[in-house]
Structure 1
Amino acid sequence: MTSLDLAFAAAGAVTLAAAVLAVTTRHLVHSALWLVLSLGGLAGCYLVLGAELVALVQVLVYVGAVVVLVIFALMLTRAPIGPSPEHTTSRLHRALAALLGGGVTALLLAVLVPLAGREAVARTPVVSAVIAGDLFATWVWPFEALSLLLLLALIGAFSVARLTGGRAQGES
């Protein structure tokens, strides 16, 4: 086992633990912050695998844009910070979700574990300049459409917050 294997295992363990905490915590803001750590750990996995451009895009797009947008929307809509009794599920729903998650995990392990014993697949070197060229030449319009969609979501969250804030102030 090499040091890269250990670094990948550590980044994967951090990512997995943060993802579990993001899903299981009852605090909405804490869940968003655990999501930041999970996505950052995934970027660390990409770095260990040698995909620096993908790691940078992971940090810029997901951590730097999507999660900040989620936290900003939470702040604008005045979502409850603490645990909310209205947004909880029954023990039966949680048990069924855990059972379904365990079943999917078992299915994935049954398929992927036998593949781990096989010989390594021949890997062709990938140049970041080629990926960047494809991203900003071939895929530039879908990339820009995604940024426009995120901007519209931000404007929509701001509009909803102003509408609900104006009603709340007028009623009191």
Structure 2
Amino acid sequence: MTSRDVLFAAVGLITAAAAVLAVTNRRVLHAGLWLVVALGGLAGCYLVLGAELVALVQLLVYVGAVVVLILFALMLTRSGASEVDTSPAHRWLAAAVGAGVTVLLGGALVTAYGWESRELTGPGSEQIGEQIFGTWVWPFELLSLLLLAALVTAVAVATTGRSKDEAA
């Protein structure tokens, strides 16, 4: 067992623990913050595996955009402090479905690919970077403007109708 294997196992355990805490936490805002830790740990797993570009995309897209959008929506609607109340039967059913999907997916992947390492083929990080920042740069810029307009609109809609005392 190499040091990379030990590091991967450690980061994987932290990621799995954070994912369980994100799902089982009763406070929605705390669950969102644990989701940040879980997705950041997943980016760490990608780094240990040598997929730096995928780790960067994981951080930028999921941690930097999706989770921030979720947390922003929670804070904007002021529902982040509330607790989710579910029955124990619902929680056990969700745990059973999650465990079943994990076993099914793991079994399918092991059956399809086995445990041995495989040779990776395809374009490298440099070719992908040239495509993103060369050919596809304008669609990304337009998308960022669209997301900025949506964010400004969400703030405007959320603050409309509040009294001046609440806004301050």
Give the TM-score category using the shorter length: 0.7 to 0.9
* Offset from partner CA, 1:128-161 (integer Å, 9 cap, x none): 2112112233444553454345334423431332
Deviation at 1:13, TM superposition (A): 1.4
Q: Which moved more, 1:25-34 or 1:68-77?
A: 68-77
> Aligned residues, how many?
166
Q: Which moved more, 1:56-65 or 1:142-151?
A: 142-151
C-alpha distance in structure 2 between counterparts of 1:132 and 1:114, whole Å: 33
Alignment of 1:62-73 (within 5 A): 62-73=62-73
CA separation of 1:20/1:160 partners in 2, compared to 1, >3 Å: closer, same or farther?
farther
Match of 2:101 in 1: 104
Give the match's secondary structure for 1:32: helix
Q: TM-score, normalised by structure 2?
A: 0.80
Alignment of 1:82-121 (within 5 A): 82-83=82-83, 87-114=84-111, 117-121=114-118
Match of 2:31 in 1: 31
Give the match's secondary structure for 2:117: coil
C-alpha distance in structure 2 between counterparts of 1:145 and 1:136, whole Å: 13
C-alpha distance in structure 1 between counterparts of 2:31 and 2:146, whole Å: 23
Q: Higher relative CO (CA 8 A, sep ≥ 6), structure 1 or 2? A: 1
Deviation at 1:162, TM superposition (A): 0.9
Match of 1:56 in 2: 56
Give the match's secondary structure for 1:165: coil
C-alpha distance in structure 2 between counterparts of 1:120 and 1:132, whole Å: 26
C-alpha distance in structure 2 between counterparts of 1:145 and 1:74, whole Å: 26
C-alpha distance in structure 2 between counterparts of 1:92 and 1:70, whole Å: 27
C-alpha distance in structure 2 between counterparts of 1:80 and 1:128, whole Å: 38
2:158 is the counterpart of 1:161: yes
Match of 1:21 in 2: 21
C-alpha distance in structure 2 between counterparts of 1:74 and 1:118, whole Å: 42
Structure 2 stretches of 5 or more lacking a match? Answer: none
C-alpha distance in structure 1 between counterparts of 2:146 and 2:14, whole Å: 30
C-alpha distance in structure 2 between counterparts of 1:96 and 1:69, whole Å: 29
Q: Which moved more, 1:53-62 or 1:141-150?
A: 141-150
